[in-house]
Chain A
Amino acid sequence: MAVYKVSFVVIGSDYPGAIVNRDHAPYLGERITLGGHQFEVIEVLNLMPPRGEFHYIHATVKLSKPPRKKK
Protein backbone atom coordinates (compact mmCIF):
# COMPACT_ATOMS: atom_id res chain seq x y z
CA MET A 1 0.00 0.00 0.00
CA ALA A 2 2.29 2.75 -1.20
CA VAL A 3 0.99 6.29 -0.75
CA TYR A 4 2.38 9.07 -2.94
CA LYS A 5 2.04 12.49 -1.36
CA VAL A 6 2.40 14.84 -4.31
CA SER A 7 3.11 18.57 -4.37
CA PHE A 8 1.72 19.90 -7.66
CA VAL A 9 3.20 23.26 -8.59
CA VAL A 10 1.52 25.01 -11.51
CA ILE A 11 3.21 27.24 -14.05
CA GLY A 12 1.47 29.51 -16.53
CA SER A 13 -1.80 29.65 -14.61
CA ASP A 14 -3.31 31.43 -11.63
CA TYR A 15 -4.28 28.08 -10.13
CA PRO A 16 -2.37 27.92 -6.82
CA GLY A 17 -1.28 24.29 -6.97
CA ALA A 18 -2.23 21.41 -4.73
CA ILE A 19 -1.02 18.75 -2.34
CA VAL A 20 -2.81 15.43 -2.57
CA ASN A 21 -2.24 11.75 -1.83
CA ARG A 22 -2.36 9.40 -4.79
CA ASP A 23 -1.93 5.67 -5.31
CA HIS A 24 0.69 6.13 -8.02
CA ALA A 25 3.54 8.51 -8.72
CA PRO A 26 3.00 11.19 -11.36
CA TYR A 27 4.89 10.69 -14.62
CA LEU A 28 6.06 12.94 -17.42
CA GLY A 29 3.29 13.67 -19.88
CA GLU A 30 0.52 12.54 -17.50
CA ARG A 31 -2.68 14.56 -17.82
CA ILE A 32 -4.24 15.47 -14.50
CA THR A 33 -7.27 17.52 -13.52
CA LEU A 34 -7.03 19.99 -10.64
CA GLY A 35 -9.72 22.51 -9.78
CA GLY A 36 -11.50 21.90 -13.06
CA HIS A 37 -8.39 22.64 -15.13
CA GLN A 38 -6.46 20.04 -17.08
CA PHE A 39 -2.69 20.05 -16.64
CA GLU A 40 0.23 18.13 -18.08
CA VAL A 41 3.08 16.91 -15.87
CA ILE A 42 6.38 18.31 -17.14
CA GLU A 43 8.73 17.57 -14.21
CA VAL A 44 8.83 14.98 -11.43
CA LEU A 45 11.32 14.69 -8.58
CA ASN A 46 11.55 13.19 -5.08
CA LEU A 47 10.99 15.98 -2.59
CA MET A 48 12.02 14.04 0.53
CA PRO A 49 13.23 10.46 1.13
CA PRO A 50 10.39 7.93 1.56
CA ARG A 51 9.31 6.87 5.07
CA GLY A 52 7.51 3.57 5.40
CA GLU A 53 4.83 3.39 2.74
CA PHE A 54 4.88 7.14 2.13
CA HIS A 55 6.66 8.69 -0.85
CA TYR A 56 7.13 12.45 -1.13
CA ILE A 57 7.00 13.71 -4.70
CA HIS A 58 7.09 17.10 -6.42
CA ALA A 59 5.53 17.55 -9.84
CA THR A 60 5.56 20.68 -11.96
CA VAL A 61 2.55 20.93 -14.24
CA LYS A 62 1.48 23.30 -17.00
CA LEU A 63 -1.96 24.08 -18.34
CA SER A 64 -2.75 21.67 -21.15
CA LYS A 65 -6.10 23.19 -22.08
CA PRO A 66 -6.48 26.94 -21.60
CA PRO A 67 -9.77 27.89 -19.93
CA ARG A 68 -12.48 29.20 -22.26
CA LYS A 69 -12.64 32.96 -22.41
CA LYS A 70 -15.89 34.44 -21.18
CA LYS A 71 -17.77 36.38 -23.85
Chain B
Amino acid sequence: MSLIDILRKVELFNGLGDSELRDVEGLCVERRLHRGEIITTQGKHEDELFIVTQGFIEIILGEAKAEPRKIVVNLGEGQIIGEMSLVDQGPRSATARAAVEATTVQAISCRDFEVLCERNAHIGYMVMRNIASDLSFKLRHRNLSEGGR
Protein backbone atom coordinates (compact mmCIF):
# COMPACT_ATOMS: atom_id res chain seq x y z
CA MET B 1 0.00 0.00 0.00
CA SER B 2 1.39 3.44 -0.94
CA LEU B 3 1.92 6.14 1.68
CA ILE B 4 -0.85 8.22 0.04
CA ASP B 5 -3.28 5.30 0.51
CA ILE B 6 -2.19 5.03 4.16
CA LEU B 7 -2.65 8.79 4.75
CA ARG B 8 -6.11 8.62 3.16
CA LYS B 9 -7.17 6.29 6.01
CA VAL B 10 -5.87 8.64 8.72
CA GLU B 11 -8.62 10.78 10.24
CA LEU B 12 -6.26 13.76 10.55
CA PHE B 13 -6.33 14.09 6.77
CA ASN B 14 -10.04 13.40 6.27
CA GLY B 15 -11.36 15.80 3.62
CA LEU B 16 -8.02 16.47 1.88
CA GLY B 17 -7.71 16.00 -1.88
CA ASP B 18 -5.02 13.96 -3.64
CA SER B 19 -2.71 16.92 -4.34
CA GLU B 20 -3.02 18.04 -0.70
CA LEU B 21 -2.21 14.51 0.48
CA ARG B 22 0.87 14.56 -1.75
CA ASP B 23 1.98 17.78 0.00
CA VAL B 24 1.58 16.01 3.36
CA GLU B 25 3.39 12.92 2.04
CA GLY B 26 6.38 15.15 1.26
CA LEU B 27 6.72 15.99 4.97
CA CYS B 28 6.57 12.39 6.24
CA VAL B 29 9.63 10.53 7.48
CA GLU B 30 9.17 6.85 8.30
CA ARG B 31 10.53 5.55 11.57
CA ARG B 32 10.65 1.88 12.54
CA LEU B 33 10.74 1.32 16.28
CA HIS B 34 11.89 -1.45 18.55
CA ARG B 35 9.65 -2.51 21.40
CA GLY B 36 10.13 -0.06 24.29
CA GLU B 37 11.60 2.69 22.12
CA ILE B 38 10.38 6.12 23.26
CA ILE B 39 9.23 8.73 20.73
CA THR B 40 7.92 11.45 23.06
CA THR B 41 8.69 12.21 26.71
CA GLN B 42 6.14 13.85 29.02
CA GLY B 43 7.11 17.41 29.93
CA LYS B 44 9.60 17.90 27.08
CA HIS B 45 9.23 20.40 24.26
CA GLU B 46 9.48 18.45 21.01
CA ASP B 47 8.58 19.29 17.45
CA GLU B 48 7.17 16.15 15.85
CA LEU B 49 3.74 14.77 15.17
CA PHE B 50 3.49 10.99 14.67
CA ILE B 51 1.06 8.80 12.76
CA VAL B 52 1.00 5.10 13.67
CA THR B 53 1.04 2.97 10.51
CA GLN B 54 1.85 -0.42 12.07
CA GLY B 55 1.90 -1.86 15.59
CA PHE B 56 0.96 -0.04 18.77
CA ILE B 57 2.24 2.94 20.76
CA GLU B 58 1.67 2.98 24.54
CA ILE B 59 0.67 6.32 26.05
CA ILE B 60 2.15 6.67 29.53
CA LEU B 61 1.41 9.23 32.23
CA GLY B 62 3.39 9.97 35.38
CA GLU B 63 6.89 10.56 33.96
CA ALA B 64 6.94 14.19 35.04
CA LYS B 65 5.43 13.72 38.49
CA ALA B 66 6.14 11.72 41.60
CA GLU B 67 3.26 9.40 40.69
CA PRO B 68 3.56 5.80 39.55
CA ARG B 69 3.77 5.46 35.78
CA LYS B 70 0.54 4.32 34.19
CA ILE B 71 -0.21 3.16 30.65
CA VAL B 72 -3.52 4.82 29.79
CA VAL B 73 -4.13 3.63 26.23
CA ASN B 74 -2.50 1.90 23.27
CA LEU B 75 -2.76 3.71 19.95
CA GLY B 76 -2.77 1.56 16.83
CA GLU B 77 -2.92 1.98 13.08
CA GLY B 78 -4.18 5.35 11.87
CA GLN B 79 -3.84 7.13 15.24
CA ILE B 80 -1.93 10.36 15.82
CA ILE B 81 0.45 11.29 18.65
CA GLY B 82 1.76 14.77 19.46
CA GLU B 83 -1.17 16.67 17.96
CA MET B 84 -1.63 18.77 21.12
CA SER B 85 1.74 20.40 20.55
CA LEU B 86 0.53 21.46 17.11
CA VAL B 87 -2.41 23.24 18.75
CA ASP B 88 -0.88 24.76 21.90
CA GLN B 89 2.92 24.57 21.38
CA GLY B 90 3.08 23.23 24.93
CA PRO B 91 5.24 20.45 26.37
CA ARG B 92 4.36 16.81 25.76
CA SER B 93 1.35 15.75 27.84
CA ALA B 94 2.46 12.11 27.95
CA THR B 95 5.28 9.74 27.13
CA ALA B 96 4.81 7.52 24.08
CA ARG B 97 6.74 4.31 23.42
CA ALA B 98 6.47 1.37 21.06
CA ALA B 99 4.43 -1.43 22.63
CA VAL B 100 5.44 -4.09 20.12
CA GLU B 101 8.45 -4.83 17.94
CA ALA B 102 8.47 -3.33 14.42
CA THR B 103 6.01 -0.58 15.27
CA THR B 104 6.14 1.94 12.43
CA VAL B 105 5.26 5.63 12.52
CA GLN B 106 5.37 8.50 10.06
CA ALA B 107 6.98 11.54 11.71
CA ILE B 108 6.09 15.06 10.60
CA SER B 109 7.82 18.23 11.82
CA CYS B 110 5.13 20.42 13.45
CA ARG B 111 6.95 23.52 12.18
CA ASP B 112 6.90 22.28 8.58
CA PHE B 113 3.29 21.18 8.95
CA GLU B 114 2.29 24.63 10.24
CA VAL B 115 3.95 26.23 7.22
CA LEU B 116 1.92 23.93 4.94
CA CYS B 117 -1.32 24.76 6.82
CA GLU B 118 -0.64 28.49 6.54
CA ARG B 119 0.17 28.20 2.84
CA ASN B 120 -3.00 26.20 2.13
CA ALA B 121 -5.90 27.40 4.33
CA HIS B 122 -8.08 24.43 3.30
CA ILE B 123 -5.50 21.98 4.66
CA GLY B 124 -5.17 24.12 7.80
CA TYR B 125 -8.94 24.21 8.40
CA MET B 126 -9.49 20.49 7.75
CA VAL B 127 -6.53 19.42 9.89
CA MET B 128 -7.54 21.62 12.85
CA ARG B 129 -11.15 20.35 12.60
CA ASN B 130 -9.91 16.76 12.48
CA ILE B 131 -7.59 17.32 15.46
CA ALA B 132 -10.61 18.61 17.43
CA SER B 133 -12.54 15.49 16.46
CA ASP B 134 -9.62 13.24 17.43
CA LEU B 135 -9.25 14.93 20.83
CA SER B 136 -13.00 14.56 21.38
CA PHE B 137 -12.80 10.85 20.53
CA LYS B 138 -9.86 10.32 22.88
CA LEU B 139 -11.70 12.16 25.69
CA ARG B 140 -14.79 10.00 25.16
CA HIS B 141 -12.60 6.88 25.21
CA ARG B 142 -10.99 8.07 28.44
CA ASN B 143 -14.39 8.75 30.02
CA LEU B 144 -15.61 5.26 29.12
CA SER B 145 -12.37 3.69 30.35
CA GLU B 146 -12.49 5.49 33.69
CA GLY B 147 -16.20 4.73 34.13
CA GLY B 148 -15.79 1.05 33.32
CA ARG B 149 -13.19 0.31 35.94
Chain A residues engaging chain B, CB cutoff 8 angstroms: 1, 3, 5, 7, 9-11, 16-21, 34-35, 47-48, 51-54, 56, 58, 60
Tell me whether A21 and B75 are in contact (CB under 8 A). Answer: no
Complex Cα distance, B15 from A53, in Å, reads 9
Complex Cα distance, B149 from A16, in Å, reads 10
Tell me whether A21 and B77 are in contact (CB under 8 A). Answer: yes
Tell me whether A9 and B79 are in contact (CB under 8 A). Answer: no
Of chain A, the residue at the smallest CB distance from B134 is A5
Tell me whether A51 and B78 are in contact (CB under 8 A). Answer: no
Complex Cα distance, B143 from A48, in Å, reads 14
- Given the complex, which residues of A lie within 8 Å of B74, measured CB to CB? 16-20, 34-35
Interface of chain A: mostly helix, strand, loop or mixed: strand
Tell me whether B73 and A19 are in contact (CB under 8 A). Answer: yes
Tell me whether B14 and A51 are in contact (CB under 8 A). Answer: yes
Interface of chain B: mostly helix, strand, loop or mixed: mixed
Complex Cα distance, B148 from A58, in Å, reads 12
Complex Cα distance, B9 from A34, in Å, reads 21
Tell me whether A19 and B14 are in contact (CB under 8 A). Answer: no
10 closest A-B pairs by beta carbon, nearest first, are A20-B76, A21-B78, A7-B141, A18-B74, A16-B71, A9-B144, A9-B145, A3-B9, A21-B77, A9-B148
Tell me whether B76 and A18 are in contact (CB under 8 A). Answer: yes
Which bracket fits the contact residues of B?
20 to 34
B64 within 8 A of A: no
Complex Cα distance, B78 from A1, in Å, reads 14
B63 within 8 A of A: no
Instruction: Report which of A1, A17, A35, A52 forms a contact with B99, defined as CB distance below 8 A.
Output: A35
Q: Mark B77-111, 1 if CB is under 8 A from A, else 0.
A: 11100000000000000000001100000000000
Complex Cα distance, B74 from A9, in Å, reads 11
- Given the complex, which residues of A lie within 8 Å of B71, measured CB to CB? 16
B22 within 8 A of A: no
Contacts A3-B78, A16-B145, A47-B140 known; list 9 others, CB within 8 Å: A1-B8, A5-B137, A7-B140, A11-B149, A19-B75, A20-B75, A21-B76, A35-B56, A35-B100
